Structure 1
């Protein structure tokens, strides 16, 4: 029973430690891993797993090792921010795959990509013909950025000389049945105005799960007992 208790305590300690380390390394670790960060993650995970499962493993040495790898990763990230050459080595460089509608086969080989894989990545971008592509770039994180030729791009309002009103992000004025006062004030309204809007719809604040005020002045409501969004 003693071993089980120790394993539970070790596991909880390691879990808390890894949570703190993840916070220190920053959100970038969750969305984009460089080559080095990927290796460090594997090493730290392996050490943490061994420490939590092996009761005979030296906890102090293991934690010290994790802290050393974490410190190395933080220092290298800091140096990468200051030095582009280091950043290119650690995070990798973007590489052009398509230029002027022509595939650069040499660059594909350097990144060990096949033409099938390139076409698959294009299809995921809703592009089914290479000739429609003006420029395609494989980013350092493995994502493919695509710029279509002008004839195949969606027409923008500015290209039609249309003067459309500015579209701003909607403001959440009610959440979980509670009015968010600061948001209501931010849009130049007050609590009374919002309650009048709800009264016109014969709705109580407590019945509203989420309410957002859009830049066009419309108030969209999502109710607790109705998953369909309705607009004023």
Structure 2
């Protein structure tokens, strides 16, 4: 057999073996790596590169070495899962760089991190003033995580005392012009509902590249033709405005009557309507 064909077949075999071994090692090998995982990744790549071009008849030993490396890596991963001491030894510990708004210079030296590099890491977290940082820590992966001072933290609904409706997974119900029945049924909808919604916005199913439904039943579509502007659904805004109008009407009826019994009835209804609006506001004003 010709050498170029032998090399080609070995390369294909190595790719297949390497793929399954990487799947076996898990997603961490392609995400944030620890020191040992970094070494393992380099070594496995080097072994895999030399196997196809080994022409002295011992190329299969490279596969054995590859299998040993993967086995050792799996063993060490299980060990780090079971033992905190092993995790500290192999993965390292996180290091506090800023505490109570003060930079810990000794820890910077320990991690061999310069001031410029620290500021660069902060900027990568959208922090441009050191004074805005309450706490910063370098993880074992090398990533720096930052906690801002309370007055510089983003405002959330909980800070304002607003109750927000729970968010559920958005379902893709149309892909490449094809309806996905399983996601539709997952959210309790059907094709008839989808046809009605598409008819409202004047879009044919074959013109939809991607369609999604959020947890509030709102349909979003992206069309093949980007020049076409799809009107946004106003159902929630209309419903909210209708509820507010009902509340205003009840208050007006209460003020326009002299009958105390009727006035009290309208006032109670107005209070009840206000409570209903407060309950559904998070969902309708999202």
TM-score, normalised via structure 1 length: 0.94
1:43 is matched with 43
Q: CA deviation at 1:227?
A: 7.5
2:106 is matched with 106
Q: Is the 8 A contact 1:174 1:209 kept in 2?
A: yes
Q: Which structure dedicates a bigger proportion of its chain to strand?
A: 1
Partner SS state of residue 212, structure 1:
strand
2:163 aligned with 1:178 = no
Q: Deviations over 1:49-94 (max 9, x none)?
A: 1112232261221111110011000000011101111011111111
User: RMSD of aligned C-alpha atoms?
Assistant: 1.7
Structure 1, 173-182 or 51-60: larger mean CA deviation: 51-60
Q: Is the 8 A contact 1:138 1:145 kept in 2?
A: yes
Whose radius of gyration is greater, 1 or 2? 2
Q: Is the 8 A contact 2:133 2:149 kept in 1?
A: yes
Change (3 A) 1:19 1:225: same
Q: Deviations over 1:102-153 (max 9, x none)?
A: 0001111111111110001001111111121111000111111000000111
Distance 2:227 2:182 in 1: 26
| Greater relative contact order (CA < 8 Å, ≥ 6 in sequence) | 1
Change (3 A) 1:136 1:9: same
Q: CA deviation at 1:166?
A: 2.6
Aligned length: 232
- Structure 1 portions without partners, runs of 5+: none
Q: CA deviation at 1:218?
A: 2.0
- Structure 2 portions without partners, runs of 5+: 234-286
The list of structure 1 runs, each at least 4 consecutive aligned residues, that deviate by more than 6 angstroms after superposition, is: none
Within 5 Å, which residues of 2 pair with 1:152-191? Answer: 152-191=152-191
Change (3 A) 1:212 1:204: same
Q: Is the 8 A contact 1:222 1:229 kept in 2?
A: no
TM-score, normalised via structure 2 length: 0.77
Q: CA deviation at 1:169?
A: 2.9
2:121 is matched with 121
